[in-house]
Each structure stands twice: as structure tokens, then as C-alpha cells.
Amino acid sequence: MPLILPQGYKPLLNKYETEQGIKLIKEFFQDNLSTGLHLRRVTGPLFVQSGLGINDDLSGKERPVRFPIKCMGDAMAEVVHSLAKWKRLTLGEFNVKPGYGIYTDMNAIRADEDLDNLHSLYVDQWDWEQTITAEQRTLEYLKKVVKNIYYAMRRTEFLICERFPQLQPSLVEKVTFVHSEELLQRWPDKTPHEREDLIAREHGSVFIVGIGAPLSNGVPHDMRAPDYDDYTTLNSDGYQGLNGDLIVWNEVLGRSFEISSMGIRVDKAALLRQLAESHQQERLELYFHQRLMADTLPLSIGGGIGQSRLCMLYLKKAHIGEIQASIWPEPMREECRKAGIPII
């Protein structure tokens, strides 16, 4: 995406206030998230061993940052993209019962990221996972969890606006649910991102269901790796997919703004189906996939919630570089300087 430079932009908080706001948001939101979803905090890894199928493959094209481990005969490790599959292994190791789960601070490096207002080489998010029963693998349960997350977001927004009166709340009262196929039927001549802009502007906050499976035009709304979210099971609305993205309208940037990607995870049937459809059956030889096929992993629902993204939204920032320290191309830094955007 091209860099967005809001006309007449001026930060509402100075750098010291911004750091105070970041601390307050991160502490308060994670407490509300853990209470709402019955989650306990665990310590997550920065890197995992290569070749086990544990790392998140995102859309399947992004290259992980790799390095050799001297004391293990130069076996390769890779910096995580997210902890989508590691969390499910951890649920099994902790024997977490249905209705309860875990969350962790996930820090990642995504070297292939296209840098803009929202995307950085450094990714920080709350990765969470909850054990569920077979009967809870439904769209209704997914919606219930999304609503709980959204309530935590609204409570956090109220707190931060009370602490800094120059900030005004922007989140609408309720989140609207819509399937990606419905967006295609409504705006067939638009790109997926343009559809997201249109629906987010209209409703304020939306959860787009069904990310990963081909739509009626033969093209997915967005790509997903085939081995964590269940995007092919028929849901109660007659569409494929038990996953989706939580998106809000960002007033500062004038565009849709993804806060979270989440979903009910694959069971054995969905894993086999999605690996076959994506022609990646060789993954069944990997450690994670063998554990799943052997019924040694619990059924679960999970996702990631962007920490810097939430802070951007609440603190009315125009660039993620105002929230986190990272590396940016010098031409981007210069453009931001001229536009009054103070990149860290």
C-alpha cells in the first residue's frame, strides 16, 4: 500500500505521553482479554526449530529469518512469524480444559513485509488460544469470542480517553459480522482491500468471516496457511469458513484497519481437506501435523491481536513507527518528517 500522509496531521500526544499511553493500553487490555476468555499467561518463544511444522507459514510465501545453532550441530532455527501452532501444542502440554486457554506476548520478525503505515519488520501481538469441544466448533461460538474481544477493546478505549481527554473514542457499540462472499457479491468490481474499506466505513467495526477458501470468483479474499485456521468447513450461514479478520475504520488514515486475525483451528478432517486442496500433503510428515492426526492435540480456537495496531488506534497515530522502534527506508522517514509524523 502507498504511504498515507494525512493532511494537517499533528500528534495529539507528545512522545512522553505516547509512551505512558502504550504502557497503560498494554497492561489494561491484556487483563481484560484474559478475564473475558479465561486465559492464563505463558511465556512464548522468539524462535523455534526448523522442519517441525511449528512456525506459522502465514500465506505460505513469507521467508522466516533463520540461523544455525552451534551447540546442536548447526541445526537450523527460525524466528517465529506468529505462534498459531505452538500455542496448540502448549494447550496439550498444559492439559488445558475446554473453556480455558493461554495467551502470550508474541514478538516476531517478518523480513518480507511490505512496509507502510501499518506494516513493520517487527510484529508484536497478543497470541492467544483456547481449548474447545467438538460442539463448539461453530460460527456461533466464533462470534461469541469475537464479541468478548471487542468488549475488551471498548473498555480499553474508554480508559485511555479518560486518561487523555484530548483523545476521543471512535469504536462503535457493536461489531458487525459479514462473510467475504457477501462482500464479493455486493462489490464484484472491487479488490478485497477496497471491499474492506467500504464495509468498515459503513459499519465502523466488522468481522469478515471466511478468509482462505476460494470465493465464487475462484479467488480467496486473502491467503491463509492450510494447517491452522479452518476456512473450508460449512458454517451456519451456508458459507465456508470458521475464521476471519476483525477490522475497524481508522479515522486518522481514512481506511480499514485490521486489528486481529483469528479462527477455529483445523480438526483432522479440515487439515486433510485443506492440505489436499492446496497440494501440500507433504506437511503430514511434520511433527505438528503428526501430533494432530494422532489425536494428541486439543481442539481449539485462537488468534493474534496487534499490540502496536491497538496503540495506533487509541492514540490516534498515523504510522506504526510512532509506536514501535523498527527500521524504515530513509525516503519513508523523510516523507514522514515533512508530514509531521515523528517516527521513533
Query: Which distant-in-sequence residues (6+ apart) come within 8 Å of 35 by Cβ?
Result: none
Helix, strand counts (H, E) of the chain: 9, 11
Choose the catalytic residue: 30, 34, 120, 125: 125
Number of C-beta neighbours around residue 200 at 10 A: 21
Query: Which distant-in-sequence residues (6+ apart) come within 8 Å of 122 by Cβ?
Result: 107, 108, 109, 324, 325, 326
d(CA 305, CA 258): 9
Choose the catalytic residue: 245, 265, 267, 326: 245
pLDDT at 315: 98
CA angle, 72 then 103 then 143, to 5°: 130
Choose the catalytic residue: 30, 34, 88, 110: 110
CA distances in angstroms from 26 to 33, 123, 125, 273, 338, listed in the order given: 11, 15, 10, 38, 30
Which domains does the chain possess? 15-338 (3.30.930.10)
Closest residue by Cα to residue 264 from 211, 205, 200 = 211
- Residue whose C-alpha cell is 512496509: 115
In the annotation, is 261 catalytic? Answer: yes
In the annotation, is 283 catalytic? Answer: no
Closest residue by Cα to residue 258 from 270, 249, 247 = 247
d(CA 169, CA 315): 10
Contact (CB, 8 A) for 223 and 212: yes
pLDDT at 1: 64
CA distances in angstroms from 255 to 173, 194, 324, listed in the order given: 19, 9, 21
pLDDT at 82: 86
CA quadruple 52, 57, 60, 64: dihedral positive or negative? Answer: negative
In the annotation, is 258 catalytic? Answer: yes
Residues in the chain: 344
Choose the catalytic residue: 116, 258, 277, 335: 258
Contact (CB, 8 A) for 108 and 80: yes
In the annotation, is 236 catalytic? Answer: no
d(CA 223, CA 226): 9
- Residue whose C-alpha cell is 526449530: 49
Choose the catalytic residue: 56, 157, 196, 322: 56
Tell me the three cell numbers of residue 164: 487523555
Q: Which residues of the chain have pLDDT under 70?
A: 1, 60
Choose the catalytic residue: 136, 240, 261, 326: 261
Residue type, 117: N
Residue type, 48: V
Residue type, 272: L
CA distances in angstroms from 134 to 101, 232, 288, listed in the order given: 16, 16, 20
This prediction's pTM: 0.95
In the annotation, is 125 catalytic? Answer: yes
d(CA 46, CA 41): 16
Cβ burial of 8 (10 Å; 0-12, 13-18, 19+) is exposed
